[in-house]
Amino acid sequence: MRRYTYELFGALARLDPSLTIVAVGPPSGSGIPERIERVQPAVSLPTNLGWMLTGLPLTARRAGVHAFHAPAYTIPVGIRPVVVTIHDVSYARHPEWYPYKRDPVRRAFYRHSAVTADRIITDSTFSKSEIVAAYDVRPETIDVVPLAAAAAFTPGPRLPLPAAYPPRFVLHVGDLHARRNLEMVARALQSVRARNRSLQDVALVVAGVDRGAGAALITLSARAGGSPLVVFARTVDDASLLALYRSASALVYPSRYEGFGLPLLEAMSVGVPVIAASASSIPEVTGDAAVLIDPDDEAAWADAIERTLDDGSRAETMRAASKTRAAQFSWDRTARETAAVYRKLLGS
């Protein structure tokens, strides 16, 4: 969400001088791109819900905005016209992945925002179809605007990594969540290490916050024996993430459900070979630049990982395809297509 907000509105302010972009009540100390105005928050009831019900509407009225863009799922009460960005609806389509006590409240608020917004922006055609199915909104009110990798993610030489990282690894970027299907890809890598002596020290590096899937990976890694099967990078900044991408032998992305999958583009922008699930929005993002595999076909994942790591010419072909595909996306494009949604909304 932070990446989307910063990159989109920064590009809008830079590219379209006819638009005045106003950050409504940002927290003190939050990084805001250049050329964006800031309106201090009004007095608000506590909690995020209180902010959406009181503080945010009051602050938006004080700013005198002609349209309000809510960049992450929820809209303020009483502000019109309003655009909301819904990146995915996995929480509505697969509530079994979100067994948290407060989640029904969140899902209800997300539904209300979707059905009452004047327009919806989403990241992929897949997500558009899922929003229609989840909320029964009219398809013509939804605009598909793809995302892009940040400018920092570029090809180049390897960068220093801490000694704890293995010399050769495949990488996964994203929170450790049930839908990410990471146990399967760890087992596939374990099979590769067992049958190919030249790859017996390759590890899976996972960079992201543990949302409940970490314990199983720790157990699987402990049982594997030898050098660590899974290495946890936890949360990393952009510089560390770039270093991981540049050193990775491949990005593995076995997710069962993605509204877009921004790490796919980040990796491809750096020139990393991508092995990904043939599910949800992923084929839409990668095109023919990735090896796409059924997320349940563990043997095929093992074969794809082994071939990519064991065949240098194949890996180079995949690197070139990654960079070519990633070049088709940019935040400038995202900004221009988003500005077109604003003008459609305002009739101008």
Kindly report the average pLDDT of the chain as a whole number: 94
| Residue 52 belongs to domain spanning | 2-147+330-346
Residue % of the chain over a pLDDT of 70: 99
Residues 312 and 339 in one domain: no
Q: How confident is the model at residue 29 (pLDDT cuts 50, 70, 90)?
A: confident
Q: What's the CA gap between 202 and 8, in Å, rounded?
A: 37
Q: Is residue 152 part of a domain?
A: no
Residue 284 vs residues 64, 188, 276: alpha-carbon distances, Å: 38, 24, 12
Residues 213 and 259 in one domain: yes
Residues 181 and 271 in one domain: yes
pLDDT at residue 26 in the model: 82
pLDDT at residue 184 in the model: 98
Rounded mean pLDDT, 78-89: 94
Rounded to two decimals, the pTM is 0.93
Q: How confident is the model at residue 56 (pLDDT cuts 50, 70, 90)?
A: confident
Residues 187 and 280 in one domain: yes
Burial pattern 295-315, b for ≥16 Cβ within 10 A else e, equals bebbeebbbbbbebbeeeeeb
Condensed to tens digits (0 to 9), the pLDDT of residues 162-184 reads 888 999 999 999 999 999 999 99
* Neighbour-count burial of 149, counting CB atoms closer than 10 A to its CB (0-12 exposed, 13-18 middle, 19+ buried): buried
Decide: helix, strand or coil at residue 176.
strand
Decide: helix, strand or coil at residue 175.
coil
Residues 309 and 338 in one domain: no
Q: How confident is the model at residue 309 (pLDDT cuts 50, 70, 90)?
A: very high
Residues 44 and 135 in one domain: yes
* Neighbour-count burial of 193, counting CB atoms closer than 10 A to its CB (0-12 exposed, 13-18 middle, 19+ buried): buried
Condensed to tens digits (0 to 9), the pLDDT of residues 3-20 reads 999 999 999 999 988 899
Rounded mean pLDDT, 327-342: 97
Residues 232 and 128 in one domain: no
**198 token code pair:** 């030249």
Residues 297 and 339 in one domain: no
Condensed to tens digits (0 to 9), the pLDDT of residues 197-248 reads 999 999 999 999 999 999 999 999 999 988 999 999 977 899 999 999 999 9
Residues 89 and 194 in one domain: no
Contact 87, 110 (CB under 8 A): no
CATH code, 262: 3.40.50.2000
Q: Is the pLDDT of residue 50 over 80?
A: yes
Between 56-70, 188-202, 241-255, 303-317, the lowest mean confidence (pLDDT) is in: 56-70
Q: Is residue 68 part of a domain?
A: yes
Residues 204 and 143 in one domain: no
